[in-house]
Amino acid sequence: MDHTHLKAARQFIDAIPHSRRLGMVMEDLTDGQAVISMPYDEALIGDPVSKVIHGGAVSALMDTAGGAAVMAHPKAGIGTATLDLRIDYMRSATPGQRITATATCYHVTRSVAFVRATACDDDTQLPVATATGAFTVIKGKASS
């Protein structure tokens, strides 16, 4: 991706207060695919024994990546919202490591976009979590 494209994509994340609060960074954005990372933060701990961050923070990362992938699809509309999102947690994210989510929007109809996503920490062989979701396709007034 060229520099200006990535800069615009990063501004997209910066415009989402909750994603910005979680420290998310857009790593890559191509047609129908988004890669977004999030740093480890002790404030996000969900399990006081293991210091592992809460699954909800991983959900927020997957949801943001999913929405970005939908918006980056050539057939996308002017906006999107999550209809449903299912997350499967394969293992605990390793405390201290950054989590990177890769979301792919693999099909878009006139009103629905379908997404798959995977989240990994430093060990990219076994994902921390996978997700599948359906997102709305919001068309502009002219095309509806």
Partner 1 sequence: MIKRPEPVGAVKHRRDTVLSAIVGQIPYIQFLGVKFDRHGDELTATMTYHDDLIGNPMLPALHGGATASFLEMTAIVGLTWATMWEDMEAGTLDISTVQTTALALPKTIDFTVDYLRAGLPRDAYARAKLNRSGRRYASVHVEGWQDNRDRLFAQATGHFLMPARDANRT
Which residues bind to partner 1, rule: CB under 8 A? 15-19, 21-22, 42-49, 53-57, 59-64, 67, 79, 81-89, 92
Q: Which of 1, 132 has the CB closer to partner 1?
A: 132
Q: Which of 60, 137 has the CB closer to partner 1?
A: 60
Task: Please report how close the Cβ of residue 66 comes to partner 1 at its closest, in angstroms.
Answer: 8
Task: Please report how close the Cβ of residue 2 comes to partner 1 at its closest, in angstroms.
Answer: 26
Q: Which of 79, 106 has the CB closer to partner 1?
A: 79
State how far the Cα of 85 lies from the Cα of 23, in Å rounded to an integer.
21
Task: Give the residue from 24, 17, 94 showing the smallest Cα distance to 53.
Answer: 94
Buried b (16+ CB within 10 A) or exposed e, 54-65: ebebbbbbbbbb
Task: Please report how close the Cβ of residue 32 comes to partner 1 at its closest, in angstroms.
Answer: 19
- Nearest-5° Cα angle at 94, 41 to 124: 115
Name residue 112's beta-bridge partners. Answer: 136
